[in-house]
């Protein structure tokens, strides 16, 4: 698919063809590390906000993954908080998994 076809391709979420070119950032898991890639060329749906990549961007991301995201190539680091659904549910007296299963059965 060439660039013109990809720009007019429908959004994979809402099927709208109202998209725009943008540079976005995306987070990926690489082994046990969470990495952020900035300046990713993407198409962004103006209706639902979905971000999706053309073939060139996918190839670029794949090459970065193959390179292993060496720490010395990072432009900066972010500190990311980690949350737990289990802890939140117990602290906020949320229903257990068993109770939820019964509710949605």
pLDDT tens-digit readout, 64-90: 999 999 999 999 999 988 888 888 877
Count of CB atoms within 10 A of residue 51's CB? 15
Q: What are phi and psi of 94, to 5 degrees?
A: -80, 155
Domain ranges of the chain: 3-75
Query: pTM for this one?
Result: 0.68
Residue 36: helix, strand or coil by DSSP? strand
Render pLDDT for 27-56 as a digit per residue (tens, 0 to 9): 999 999 999 999 999 999 999 999 999 889
**Start-to-end CA span in the chain (Å):** 43
* Tokens describing residue 52: 């999706």
Spatial contact of 48 and 12, defined as CB atoms under 8 Å apart: no
22 half-sphere exposure, CB direction, 13 A CA radius: 13
Tokens 């906000």 sit on residue: 49
* Tokens describing residue 83: 């949350």
DSSP 8-state secondary structure symbol assigned to residue 41: E
Would you identify the CATH topology of the domain 3-75?
Ubiquitin-like (UB roll) (3.10.20)
């Amino acid at each position: 698919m060439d660039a013109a076809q990809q720009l007019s391709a429908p959004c994979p979420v809402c099927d709208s063809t109202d998209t725009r070119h943008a540079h976005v950032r995306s987070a990926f898991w690489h082994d046990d590390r969470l990495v952020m890639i900035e300046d990713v060329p993407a198409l962004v749906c103006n209706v639902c906000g979905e971000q999706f990549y053309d073939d060139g961007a996918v190839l670029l991301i794949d090459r970065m993954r193959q390179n292993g995201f060496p720490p010395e190539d990072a432009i900066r680091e972010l500190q990311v908080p980690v949350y737990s659904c289990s802890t939140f549910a117990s602290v906020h007296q949320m229903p257990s998994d068993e109770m939820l299963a019964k509710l949605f059965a």
